[in-house]
Protein backbone atom coordinates (compact mmCIF):
# COMPACT_ATOMS: atom_id res chain seq x y z
CA UNK A 1 0.00 0.00 0.00
CA UNK A 2 1.41 3.37 -1.02
CA UNK A 3 0.62 6.47 1.04
CA UNK A 4 -1.72 8.89 -0.71
CA UNK A 5 -0.34 12.02 0.91
CA UNK A 6 3.04 12.22 2.59
CA UNK A 7 3.70 14.83 5.28
CA UNK A 8 7.29 16.00 5.67
CA UNK A 9 7.86 17.38 9.17
CA UNK A 10 11.01 19.51 9.11
CA UNK A 11 12.43 20.42 12.53
CA UNK A 12 14.39 23.66 12.83
CA UNK A 13 15.93 26.04 15.33
CA UNK A 14 17.50 29.38 14.39
CA UNK A 15 19.23 28.25 11.23
CA UNK A 16 17.23 29.87 8.41
CA UNK A 17 19.93 29.49 5.75
CA UNK A 18 20.08 25.71 6.23
CA UNK A 19 16.28 25.48 6.48
CA UNK A 20 15.92 27.36 3.20
CA UNK A 21 18.33 24.95 1.46
CA UNK A 22 16.38 21.96 2.79
CA UNK A 23 12.94 23.27 1.84
CA UNK A 24 14.06 24.43 -1.62
CA UNK A 25 15.37 20.89 -2.22
CA UNK A 26 11.92 19.64 -1.22
CA UNK A 27 10.37 21.98 -3.78
CA UNK A 28 12.53 20.32 -6.48
CA UNK A 29 11.33 16.76 -5.81
CA UNK A 30 10.31 14.49 -8.70
CA UNK A 31 7.20 13.54 -6.67
CA UNK A 32 5.12 16.47 -5.39
CA UNK A 33 2.47 14.40 -3.61
CA UNK A 34 3.42 15.74 -0.20
CA UNK A 35 3.08 18.66 2.18
CA UNK A 36 5.66 20.35 4.41
CA UNK A 37 5.23 21.31 8.03
CA UNK A 38 8.06 23.34 9.58
CA UNK A 39 8.25 22.21 13.21
CA UNK A 40 10.01 25.11 14.89
CA UNK A 41 11.61 24.65 18.32
CA UNK A 42 11.46 28.35 19.19
CA UNK A 43 13.35 30.16 16.40
CA UNK A 44 13.38 33.94 16.15
CA UNK A 45 12.22 36.45 13.58
CA UNK A 46 14.80 35.54 10.92
CA UNK A 47 13.35 32.05 10.60
CA UNK A 48 9.80 33.41 10.43
CA UNK A 49 10.88 35.65 7.56
CA UNK A 50 12.58 32.76 5.77
CA UNK A 51 9.48 30.57 6.09
CA UNK A 52 7.23 33.36 4.79
CA UNK A 53 9.49 33.75 1.74
CA UNK A 54 9.40 30.00 1.13
CA UNK A 55 5.61 29.89 1.48
CA UNK A 56 5.30 32.58 -1.21
CA UNK A 57 6.88 30.29 -3.81
CA UNK A 58 5.95 26.83 -2.51
CA UNK A 59 4.65 24.30 -5.08
CA UNK A 60 3.22 22.19 -2.25
CA UNK A 61 1.34 23.09 0.95
CA UNK A 62 3.75 24.58 3.49
CA UNK A 63 2.81 25.40 7.09
CA UNK A 64 4.76 26.60 10.11
CA UNK A 65 4.16 25.45 13.69
CA UNK A 66 6.16 27.14 16.45
CA UNK A 67 6.73 26.67 20.15
CA UNK A 68 8.38 28.90 22.72
CA UNK A 69 12.13 28.56 23.12
CA UNK A 70 12.49 26.70 26.42
CA UNK A 71 15.58 24.70 25.50
CA UNK A 72 15.97 21.64 23.27
CA UNK A 73 12.46 20.20 22.86
CA UNK A 74 12.66 18.40 19.53
CA UNK A 75 10.22 15.69 20.64
CA UNK A 76 7.47 18.22 21.27
CA UNK A 77 8.23 20.09 18.05
CA UNK A 78 7.87 16.87 16.06
CA UNK A 79 4.60 16.07 17.83
CA UNK A 80 3.26 19.52 16.99
CA UNK A 81 4.22 18.91 13.37
CA UNK A 82 2.53 15.51 13.42
CA UNK A 83 -0.68 16.96 14.87
CA UNK A 84 -0.74 19.56 12.11
CA UNK A 85 -0.01 17.02 9.36
CA UNK A 86 -2.75 15.81 7.04
CA UNK A 87 -0.87 12.91 5.47
CA UNK A 88 -1.15 9.23 6.36
CA UNK A 89 2.64 8.82 6.21
CA UNK A 90 5.08 11.12 8.01
CA UNK A 91 8.71 11.69 7.08
CA UNK A 92 10.70 13.44 9.81
CA UNK A 93 13.50 15.48 8.31
CA UNK A 94 15.89 17.80 10.13
CA UNK A 95 16.26 21.37 8.96
CA UNK A 96 19.92 20.78 8.11
CA UNK A 97 19.41 17.64 5.99
CA UNK A 98 19.13 18.43 2.28
CA UNK A 99 17.22 15.74 0.35
CA UNK A 100 18.09 14.51 -3.11
CA UNK A 101 15.60 14.97 -5.97
CA UNK A 102 14.11 11.48 -5.54
CA UNK A 103 13.85 11.58 -1.74
CA UNK A 104 10.04 11.55 -1.62
CA UNK A 105 9.60 9.05 -4.45
CA UNK A 106 12.09 6.65 -2.89
CA UNK A 107 10.44 6.90 0.52
CA UNK A 108 7.10 6.26 -1.17
CA UNK A 109 8.48 3.11 -2.80
CA UNK A 110 9.81 1.82 0.53
CA UNK A 111 6.64 2.59 2.53
CA UNK A 112 5.14 -0.65 3.82
CA UNK A 113 2.43 -1.24 6.45
CA UNK A 114 3.90 -2.53 9.69
CA UNK A 115 7.29 -0.92 9.09
CA UNK A 116 9.09 2.34 9.70
CA UNK A 117 11.87 3.35 7.33
CA UNK A 118 15.16 4.52 8.76
CA UNK A 119 16.59 6.85 6.16
CA UNK A 120 20.27 7.47 5.57
CA UNK A 121 22.56 10.48 5.50
CA UNK A 122 25.82 11.71 4.01
CA UNK A 123 27.84 14.09 6.20
CA UNK A 124 29.29 17.30 4.77
CA UNK A 125 32.30 18.84 6.45
CA UNK A 126 32.40 22.39 7.79
CA UNK A 127 34.08 23.94 4.75
CA UNK A 128 31.71 22.30 2.26
CA UNK A 129 28.71 23.34 4.33
CA UNK A 130 29.89 26.96 4.38
CA UNK A 131 30.36 26.82 0.61
CA UNK A 132 26.95 25.28 -0.04
CA UNK A 133 25.10 27.84 2.08
CA UNK A 134 27.25 30.84 1.17
CA UNK A 135 27.17 30.21 -2.58
CA UNK A 136 23.66 28.69 -2.68
CA UNK A 137 24.97 25.53 -4.30
CA UNK A 138 22.21 23.17 -5.43
CA UNK A 139 23.30 19.76 -4.14
CA UNK A 140 20.60 18.12 -6.23
CA UNK A 141 22.40 18.82 -9.49
CA UNK A 142 25.85 17.56 -8.54
CA UNK A 143 27.14 15.14 -11.16
CA UNK A 144 28.70 11.78 -10.34
CA UNK A 145 32.07 13.38 -11.02
CA UNK A 146 31.30 16.23 -8.62
CA UNK A 147 30.34 13.77 -5.90
CA UNK A 148 33.51 11.75 -6.38
CA UNK A 149 35.60 14.92 -6.26
CA UNK A 150 33.86 16.07 -3.08
CA UNK A 151 34.52 12.68 -1.51
CA UNK A 152 38.15 12.75 -2.58
CA UNK A 153 38.61 16.17 -0.96
CA UNK A 154 36.97 15.02 2.27
CA UNK A 155 33.91 17.23 1.83
CA UNK A 156 31.70 14.10 2.03
CA UNK A 157 32.19 11.22 4.45
CA UNK A 158 31.03 8.66 1.85
CA UNK A 159 29.86 8.67 -1.73
CA UNK A 160 28.76 5.20 -2.91
CA UNK A 161 25.17 5.55 -1.58
CA UNK A 162 24.86 8.72 -3.72
CA UNK A 163 25.89 6.85 -6.85
CA UNK A 164 24.05 3.58 -6.40
CA UNK A 165 20.34 3.05 -5.64
CA UNK A 166 19.38 -0.44 -4.50
CA UNK A 167 15.89 -2.01 -4.87
CA UNK A 168 13.53 -2.83 -2.03
CA UNK A 169 15.01 -6.27 -1.37
CA UNK A 170 16.42 -7.53 1.92
CA UNK A 171 15.78 -4.27 3.75
CA UNK A 172 13.63 -5.64 6.56
CA UNK A 173 14.55 -7.45 9.74
CA UNK A 174 12.56 -8.91 12.61
CA UNK A 175 15.43 -8.30 15.04
CA UNK A 176 15.81 -5.05 16.94
CA UNK A 177 19.05 -3.11 16.63
CA UNK A 178 20.20 0.18 18.15
CA UNK A 179 22.39 0.85 15.15
CA UNK A 180 21.77 3.98 13.07
CA UNK A 181 18.54 5.19 14.66
CA UNK A 182 18.28 8.81 13.47
CA UNK A 183 15.15 10.96 13.46
CA UNK A 184 16.82 13.38 11.03
CA UNK A 185 15.49 11.10 8.25
CA UNK A 186 12.80 8.76 9.53
CA UNK A 187 9.48 7.73 7.98
CA UNK A 188 6.57 6.37 10.04
CA UNK A 189 2.91 5.68 9.30
CA UNK A 190 0.72 8.17 11.13
CA UNK A 191 -1.42 5.34 12.52
CA UNK A 192 1.69 3.79 14.08
CA UNK A 193 2.69 7.10 15.65
CA UNK A 194 -0.79 7.38 17.13
CA UNK A 195 -0.55 3.80 18.38
CA UNK A 196 2.46 4.65 20.59
CA UNK A 197 1.44 8.26 21.34
CA UNK A 198 4.21 9.79 19.21
CA UNK A 199 7.52 11.13 20.48
CA UNK A 200 7.85 11.40 24.24
CA UNK A 201 8.00 15.05 25.27
CA UNK A 202 9.33 14.14 28.70
CA UNK A 203 12.76 13.79 27.06
CA UNK A 204 14.47 17.12 27.67
CA UNK A 205 17.83 18.15 26.26
CA UNK A 206 19.65 16.46 23.40
CA UNK A 207 19.58 12.75 22.87
CA UNK A 208 17.73 9.48 22.48
CA UNK A 209 14.14 10.65 22.02
CA UNK A 210 14.43 9.06 18.57
CA UNK A 211 15.71 5.75 19.98
CA UNK A 212 12.84 5.82 22.48
CA UNK A 213 10.29 6.15 19.68
CA UNK A 214 11.78 3.30 17.65
CA UNK A 215 11.98 1.06 20.74
CA UNK A 216 8.34 1.68 21.59
CA UNK A 217 7.25 1.13 18.00
CA UNK A 218 9.14 -2.16 17.97
CA UNK A 219 7.38 -3.36 21.11
CA UNK A 220 4.08 -2.33 19.51
CA UNK A 221 4.86 -4.60 16.56
CA UNK A 222 6.26 -2.05 14.10
CA UNK A 223 9.45 -3.34 12.50
CA UNK A 224 12.23 -1.45 10.80
CA UNK A 225 13.25 -1.15 7.17
CA UNK A 226 16.66 0.14 6.09
CA UNK A 227 16.51 3.10 3.71
CA UNK A 228 20.23 3.18 2.88
CA UNK A 229 21.14 3.37 -0.81
CA UNK A 230 17.78 4.95 -1.59
CA UNK A 231 16.90 7.82 0.76
CA UNK A 232 20.20 9.64 1.38
CA UNK A 233 20.20 13.26 2.50
CA UNK A 234 23.15 15.66 2.73
CA UNK A 235 23.60 16.45 6.42
CA UNK A 236 25.06 19.95 6.74
CA UNK A 237 27.78 20.41 9.34
CA UNK A 238 26.93 22.02 12.67
CA UNK A 239 28.43 22.24 16.12
CA UNK A 240 27.29 19.49 18.44
CA UNK A 241 24.41 20.27 20.77
CA UNK A 242 24.98 20.27 24.53
CA UNK A 243 24.63 16.67 25.73
CA UNK A 244 24.12 17.20 29.45
CA UNK A 245 20.93 15.05 29.49
CA UNK A 246 22.27 12.25 27.28
CA UNK A 247 23.15 9.77 30.03
CA UNK A 248 19.80 10.01 31.83
CA UNK A 249 17.89 9.93 28.54
CA UNK A 250 19.73 6.79 27.44
CA UNK A 251 19.05 5.13 30.80
CA UNK A 252 15.34 5.82 30.35
CA UNK A 253 15.34 4.23 26.90
CA UNK A 254 17.15 1.13 28.14
CA UNK A 255 14.66 0.76 30.97
CA UNK A 256 11.72 1.09 28.60
CA UNK A 257 13.26 -1.48 26.28
CA UNK A 258 13.56 -3.93 29.17
CA UNK A 259 9.97 -3.24 30.26
CA UNK A 260 8.65 -3.45 26.66
CA UNK A 261 7.01 -0.02 26.98
CA UNK A 262 4.91 1.14 24.04
CA UNK A 263 3.21 4.40 25.06
CA UNK A 264 4.88 7.78 25.44
CA UNK A 265 4.37 9.27 28.89
CA UNK A 266 3.73 12.70 27.38
CA UNK A 267 3.05 12.56 23.66
CA UNK A 268 0.50 13.28 20.95
CA UNK A 269 -2.38 12.85 23.37
CA UNK A 270 -0.47 14.68 26.14
> Helices H, strands E: what count in the chain?
10, 11
Characterize the bridge pairing of strands 34-40 and 121-123. Answer: unpaired
pLDDT 10s digits, 37-79: 999 999 999 999 999 999 999 999 999 999 999 888 999 999 9
pLDDT at 203: 82
Domains defined along the chain, listed by start: 6-259 (3.90.550.10)
Q: How far is CA 180 from the centre of its chain?
A: 13
Give residue 246's pLDDT band: very low, low, confident or very high (50, 70, 90): low
**3-class SS of residue 115:** strand
Residue 167's contacts (CB-CB under 8 Å, 6 or more residues apart) are none
Mean pLDDT of 160-185: 91
pLDDT at 181: 85
Amino acid sequence: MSPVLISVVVTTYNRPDALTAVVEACFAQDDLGFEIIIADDGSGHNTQQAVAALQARAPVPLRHVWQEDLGFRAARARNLGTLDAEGDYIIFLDGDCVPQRNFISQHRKLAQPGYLVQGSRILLDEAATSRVLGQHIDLGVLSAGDKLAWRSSGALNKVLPLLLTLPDIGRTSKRFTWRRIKSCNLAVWRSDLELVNGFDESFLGWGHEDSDLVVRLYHAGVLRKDGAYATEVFHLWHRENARDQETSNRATVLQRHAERTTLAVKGLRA
